[in-house]
Amino acid sequence: MSVPESERFVLVPELARIMAVIPPLPEVTPESVAAIRARSDAAAALQPRPEVHALADHVVPGPGGGIPVRVYYPAAGDRLPALVFAHGGGWSICSIETHEGLCREIANRSGCAVVSVEYRLAPEHVFPAALEDFYAAAAWVVEQADLLGVDPDRVALGGDSAGANLAAVAGFMARDRGGPRFAFQLLAYPGLDALSERPATVAHADAPMLKRSTSQSMWRAYAAGADLRNPYLSPLYAEDFTGLPPALIVAPQYDLNIDDAYAYADKVEEAGGRITVLEVKGTTHGFLSYYARVPEASDALDHACRALRDAVGPDPRG
């Protein structure tokens, strides 16, 4: 006899109420992606959008054309720390608009200017299009620090889900290409291993919000036949974990990716790096987006923003 989902995945009360009325993401195919994008856009329109001090839109030169970015400023200043942020959505859905509220909240809580990146999406644009766009935008933030009013020595990388995959891999790219030295990585439930068979990947295959079948369809749409062991796709297959920025991984208890997060942290620490996994009990994939309703999500976001703020440090000019 199968065990009901509600008994296998015991979510914190408010998140359980939200998940009871939100259907899990469907599998991504060329035929379904437009409808899934429309659904995510409609849901995002209902989310809160906290006030910020200012915002600015720019277009960054990229390998496939202009890359739109939006900068959220929590305060006035010309040497603010910055977080370059990649939205989630399985490399196939979501946008600057769907993550507007979360980026505004991170800016306000961390004191960082948050630069949200509109990278190209699959299946129209496959690997490594999204990655190259995000890396180009992150490097541009450092290069154009004076224009943006940020401190080039206090730029961090971050994202949620597929966006956290891009942020993690961008750390390797910066090291491998002799690029900027980023100060920190804020990674919320990142996808790190497209071929994972770790216990949580199997046990949480039917968890609320992101099911394994959907996750696999997103990996397929993004990879488009590329080697899934390519470390720029699945960073757990990297041979060298040295020289990466310090990092925090936010890991929901009932997430496909939680065992991968611990495995990744072990590899980084074995290579002499600094990384922390914040496991949040009673939560599932995507939970930070509900910070305004779920106390545990708000607490986790507070923790993440404190870690970010501590990592980028005060303005050295005082």
Q: pLDDT tens-digit profile of 226-265?
A: 999 999 999 999 999 999 999 999 999 999 999 999 999 9
Q: Which member of 110, 116, 285, 289 is catalytic?
A: 285
pTM for this entry: 0.96
Q: Which member of 161, 215, 217, 289 is catalytic?
A: 161
User: 80 has which bridge partners?
Assistant: 150
Which residue, 34, 233, 228, 229, is CA-closest to 132?
233
- The pLDDT assigned to 316 comes to 53
Quote the strand ranges of 105-184, DSSP E: 113-117, 150-160
Active site (annotated) includes residue 125? no
- The pLDDT assigned to 2 comes to 45
Report the largest interatomic distance among the alpha carbons of the chain, rounded to a whole angstrom: 64
Q: pLDDT tens-digit profile of 114-164?
A: 999 999 999 999 999 999 999 999 999 999 999 999 999 999 999 999 999
| Percentage with pLDDT > 70 across the chain | 96
Q: For 59, phi and psi rounded to 5 degrees?
A: -120, 120
Which residues have CB under 8 Å from 294's CB, separation 6+? 12, 14, 15, 18, 283, 287
Active site (annotated) includes residue 40? no
Active site (annotated) includes residue 285? yes
Look up residue 246 and give its two tokens. 């310090």
Q: Which member of 160, 255, 259, 260 is catalytic?
A: 255
